Chain A
Amino acid sequence: MSVLLDIRGVTRRYPRPRKQLFHHEEALVAVDNVTVQITQGRTLGIVGESGSGKSTLARMVMAFEAPDEGEVLFEGKNIHALGKRELQALRPEFQMIFQDPFGSLDPRRSVGWSVAQPLRAAGMKPDQALILKTLEQVGLRAADIDRFPHEFSGGQRQRIAIARAIVTRPKLLVADEAVSALDVSVRAQILNLLMDLQDEMGLGILFISHDLAVVSSLCDDLLVLRNGVVVEQGLAGDILNNPGHEYTHTLLTAAQLELQGEHAA
């Protein structure tokens, strides 16, 4: 399978506020020299806690911000070296879904309008048949096209957000804590949907979460981030069966259902 996304030695620093007038504060290294690849049809999971740099990495992959060092290649093209127009033309190929589907959908616009937005942004004509097909793919009904976000439950709103992300038929989907706000039973539905879409469309997925159990249900490859530094990376199965770092072990403990007492399974 071909390499879809090639993240090469990416570093991102943020300046820290000065505490004293002539004091020079050292920059905060949000992401420190991360190298990883995503191939077509596979899922890379990135786990870490708050401040680990996982969302910063996602923003760089989406070209919302540029790295201070290193480069991000999408199908061989350095996305941060592209001109505005070239980037706009490439955007339909990589799309993103967020944690809070309510915050990311315009409450005054119909579902059909929101789902068509990435097409308009790329200068394409919104095609009614394509939008209906996409709604069907994510398990929504054709009649939902004229309804508004507040008429849907949290899980259904996340389906709308996924429909919007796949309407351009992207090759890469970036999901940042996409199921974290959902209830357990709804979360299972959305995780299954992502796996179905991946099989159907051959998507590469970058799946970011703080919950190692969720990541493990979906991912082929895994990268554990802590304070911007890669703690472990490799095949998800290898890391989960034999965590090589104490930090990974803590994440495992937190995610696992441990039953104490005589009746424990």
Chain B
Amino acid sequence: MSEALITVALVWVAVSGTAVVLTRDPLRQAFTAGFFGLALAFLYLSLQAGDVALSQIVVGAIALPLIALLSLAKVRKDQE
């Protein structure tokens, strides 16, 4: 059971990590990066590292996309 879970998590990390690299538009990349962070958190959780998983969620799925989105909004406003 746990091996199946770890396999799913690893495949999810590989797919979403590749998706981040292949996304060229920074706005969409902020979202794919958020999903990549979630995938990593799921991987850590499947390996029973609850503390690291929580840290990963708060940094990867909250802080990083938020700062990326606000920076993009600022750049876009300056271009207008």
Say whether A and B bind each other. no
* B positions within 8 Å CB-CB of A: none
* A positions within 8 Å CB-CB of B: none
